[in-house]
Amino acid sequence: MKTKKTFVGGQAVIEGVMMRGPEYIATAVREPSGGIVVEKDRLESITGRYPILKKPMLRGVVALVESLVYGLKALSFSAQAAGEEGEELSNKEIAMTMVLALGLAIVLFVVIPTFAAKFIHSAITDPGLLNLLEGILRLAIFFAYIGGISMLKDIQRVFQYHGAEHKTIHAYEAGVPLTIENIKGYSRLHPRCGTNFLLIVMVVSIVMFAFLGWPDLWLRILSRIILLPVVAGIAYEIIRFAGRSEHKAVACAIAPGLWLQQLTTREPSDDQIEVAIQALKAVTPAESNDTDN
């Protein structure tokens, strides 16, 4: 009888991989000396204290915020372990970084496309069509951003670790021993990837904002910011369902996100897969970490 696997997610960091299980979170990083250092912490979610936050829609917003917090901590640790300048970020610095990142995202993906759409208002007056064109512009900015950063050499290496993360999780979910040779045969694309989530957020926002009419510019921007948690909650439920379903219709629906992962992942080296294995082993039950051939 096949043992039910622990749910695991992950993230690529500088010269390493962060893995998150239901009880622990671990970041494995390749040090300049060639060794692998692993930082492991117990996972303490706010949903443990407030069970209502586990309800659909609410859990998506909580998961997004917690992923940002843990992701920044993992990035900070990886930068230090990989020999980058600086020290690990404090909680205050992490909060400030999150606010700054969120502000930049709002400017890039909300303010700019919403402001730019007003220039076609004189030619098109239908609110639904205007909102649709604004959404298409938002998607174009998103694709341009992904395409642009994917050409950076340092980011390409992070994307290799992203591929190692996906391949390792695939092998774990398949129940095979976590060896480099086994893992290399799996796809570097995964339906629960954050890339999929971001693309679904874009699509959901197009549909939702289409019903908001075409008020003054400040009202359009404010309404989109206020509805971001709702959009994130819906997108989370969609990707959660997609990650557990094998229906062909679901596979077709998430296919664009998988195609986009061709940009956000790269084929990893054996050394990078080894790092991903160490991160995964740290957050999963011991009986699931068989590395024998």
Q: What residues does each domain of the chain span?
A: 9-285
Secondary structure of residue 12 in the 3-state scheme: strand
What pLDDT is recorded for position 215? 84
CA of 40: how far to CAs of 66, 70, 102, 190, 266, in Å?
16, 12, 27, 24, 26
- 10 Å CB burial of residue 66 (0-12, 13-18, 19+) is middle
Q: And the tokens for 69?
A: 């917090």
Looking at residue 269, what DSSP letter applies?
P
Q: And the tokens for 240?
A: 């959660």
Residue 290 pLDDT > 80? no
> In the structure, what pLDDT confidence band is assigned to residue 292 with cuts at 50, 70 and 90?
very low
What pLDDT is recorded for position 49? 85
What pLDDT is recorded for position 266? 95
Note whether 39 and 26 are within 8 A (CB): yes
Note whether 113 and 138 are within 8 A (CB): yes
> In the structure, what pLDDT confidence band is assigned to residue 246 with cuts at 50, 70 and 90?
low
Give the burial string for 276-285 (b: 16+ CB within 10 Å, else e): bbbbbbbbbe
What pLDDT is recorded for position 251? 58
CB-CB neighbours of 253 under 10 Å: 17
Residue 264 pLDDT > 60? yes
Radius of gyration of the chain (CA): 20
Which of 290 and 79 is assigned the larger pLDDT? Answer: 79
Secondary structure of residue 53 in the 3-state scheme: helix
Give the burial string for 212-248 (b: 16+ CB within 10 Å, else e): eebeeeeebeebbeeebeebbbbbbbbbbebbeeeee
CB-CB neighbours of 147 under 10 Å: 11
Which of 50 and 182 is assigned the larger pLDDT? Answer: 182
What pLDDT is recorded for position 2? 46
What pLDDT is recorded for position 1? 39
What pLDDT is recorded for position 125? 78
How far does CA 88 lie from the centroid of its chain? 22
What pLDDT is recorded for position 180? 95
What pLDDT is recorded for position 18? 96
Amino acid at 274: E
Residue 5 pLDDT > 70? no
pTM over 0.75: yes
> In the structure, what pLDDT confidence band is assigned to residue 88 with cuts at 50, 70 and 90?
low
> In the structure, what pLDDT confidence band is assigned to residue 243 with cuts at 50, 70 and 90?
low
Residue 293 pLDDT > 70? no
What pLDDT is recorded for position 123? 75
Note whether 192 and 28 are within 8 A (CB): no
What pLDDT is recorded for position 89? 65
> In the structure, what pLDDT confidence band is assigned to residue 47 with cuts at 50, 70 and 90?
confident
